[in-house]
Every structure is written in C-alpha cells, then in structure tokens.
C-alpha cells in the first residue's frame, strides 16, 4: 500500500479492484482547505481514462509487476504482436492495453512489457525513439523567430511540434514520456 501523495506517472496500481496505470498525478494546495491529489488513471483492461481526486493520506494498492523485454513485430486484426525475446513466444496484445504508446512503435523495436501474474498489463517503448517525418510544411527563409515550431506528422501517424528547420524525410528523436521533439537524428 502506498499513499496517494506517492503516486508517480507510469506506476501501476490496483484501484476499485482493477489494474490502472497512473498517467498523471498532480499535487494541489489551495489557499483555503486541505491539499489534494488530482490523478488521471487508465484502466488497463478497458483502456478507459478516469480522473480522481484523492487526499494525500488516502492509500492505494501498488501492483507488483515484473518487467520483460519483448520485440514488437506487427499489427494485425488481433492487435499488436510481440515476441518474448527469451522464449520466442509470440503474444497478441489488444490496442487498449497499449494506449497512446502505439504512436511510438516501429517494427522490430524492443520494448519493456510489464507483467503481473503472467498477464501483460502495459507496454513501455524506449524513452527516446527515432522516427521519420513524413509530412510537414517547408521552412521559409527568414523565419528566424527563436523557438518557433510547426506541426510534423511522423511515420507512425503521431503529430508533434518541431523546429522550422526540420524537413520531410528527416529523422527526429522523440521523448516517449512527453511526446516532444528532442533533436534531429
């Protein structure tokens, strides 16, 4: 059991009898009244996202999970196919269990699967991934405003903000925790 004040992004807890991934946990201290935690949780079986308000002293059960390296192979009608790198067993995972992490998956990429009692609860891609820009507006000469950005569509379909100098068919490094551009690759 952990206190609600100890919730961290990416953690897996048991809440209302089901496994949930902590997407966000923000501590708020209003000027009047007691502090509270606003938590955004994703149900790992249904994919539904809920928002909860908890007191810092409320307790939740932290799920014991083990981590296993798996390789992403392909997507088909059954979901996303991963291969256990130690046993070579192939496992299909429905999209609901992967959530928005699907925006960073490339074929043959090694990911970390989080398991509880042999069941895959969540899939975590590497912290930084390198993806190709497939569509973006061309940068214009004279656009030298510091920090200016433009939208770019990546090979996985994810749209991110990139600096004006990034062009179509270039590789960029993206932080999978925040979904932000890091640098050209």
> What confidence score (pLDDT) does residue 123 get?
83
Average pLDDT over residues 7-25: 84
Give me the percent of the chain exceeding a pLDDT of 70: 95
- Contact 185/133 with Cβ under 8 angstroms? no
Q: Which of 97, 124, 151 is the last residue of a domain?
A: 124
Q: Say yes or no: 56 and 89 in one domain.
A: no
- Contact 117/134 with Cβ under 8 angstroms? no
Could you list the residue range(s) of the whole structural domain that residue 154 is in?
A: 128-184
Phi, psi of 100 (to 5 degrees): -80, -5
Q: Which of 62, 84, 114 is the last residue of a domain?
A: 62
Q: Decide: pTM greater than 0.85.
A: no
Where residue 92 sits, what CATH number does that domain have?
A: 2.40.50.140
The sign one gets for the Cα dihedral 55, 57, 59, 65 is positive
Nearby residues of 88 by Cβ (< 8 Å), 6 or more positions away: none
Q: What is the pLDDT of residues 51-98, one digit of tens each?
A: 988 888 888 888 888 888 999 999 888 888 889 888 888 888 877 677
Q: What is the pLDDT of residues 103-139, one digit of tens each?
A: 888 889 999 888 877 777 778 888 899 999 999 887 6
| Statement: residue 140 has pLDDT above 70 | no
Q: Which of 17, 42, 62 is the last residue of a domain?
A: 62
Alpha carbon 174 to chain centroid, angstroms: 12
> What confidence score (pLDDT) does residue 173 get?
92
Q: Say yes or no: 57 and 71 in one domain.
A: no
Q: Say yes or no: 116 and 132 in one domain.
A: no
The neighbour count for residue 42, using CB atoms within 10 Å, is: 21
> What confidence score (pLDDT) does residue 71 get?
92
Q: Compute the distance between CA of residue 22 and CA of residue 9 in angstroms, rounded to an integer.
A: 5
- Starting at the edge strand found earlier in the chain, the sheet holding 18-28 runs 2-3, 59-62, 12-15, 18-28, 36-43, 49-54
* 3-state class (DSSP) for residue 97: helix
| Statement: residue 149 has pLDDT above 70 | yes
Q: Say yes or no: 139 and 176 in one domain.
A: yes
Q: Say yes or no: 114 and 94 in one domain.
A: yes
Question: Could you tell me the two tokens for 86?
Answer: 């130690």
Where residue 26 sits, what CATH number does that domain have?
A: 2.30.30.30
Average pLDDT over residues 170-175: 90
Top-confidence residue, 131 or 46: 131
Number of domains the chain is built from: 3
Q: What is the DSSP letter of 55?
A: -
Question: Could you tell me the two tokens for 70?
Answer: 């798996």
Nearby residues of 32 by Cβ (< 8 Å), 6 or more positions away: none
């Amino acid at each position: 059991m952990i206190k609600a004040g100890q919730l961290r992004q990416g953690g897996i807890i048991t809440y209302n009898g089901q496994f949930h991934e902590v997407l966000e946990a923000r501590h708020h201290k209003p000027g009047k009244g007691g502090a509270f935690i606003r938590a955004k949780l994703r149900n790992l079986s249904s994919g539904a996202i809920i928002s909860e308000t908890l007191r810092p002293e409320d307790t939740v059960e932290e799920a014991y999970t083990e981590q296993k390296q798996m390789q992403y192979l392909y997507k088909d009608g059954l979901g996303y196919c991963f291969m256990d790198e130690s046993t070579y067993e192939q496992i299909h995972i429905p999209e609901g269990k992967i959530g928005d992490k699907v925006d960073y998956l490339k074929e043959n990429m090694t990911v970390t699967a989080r398991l509880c009692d042999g069941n895959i609860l969540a899939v975590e891609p590497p912290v930084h991934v390198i993806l190709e820009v497939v569509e973006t507006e061309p940068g214009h000469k004279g656009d030298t405003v510091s920090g200016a950005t433009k939208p770019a569509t990546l090979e996985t379909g994810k749209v991110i903000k990139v600096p004006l100098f990034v062009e179509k068919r270039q590789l960029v490094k993206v932080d999978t925790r925040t979904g932000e551009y890091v640098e050209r690759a």
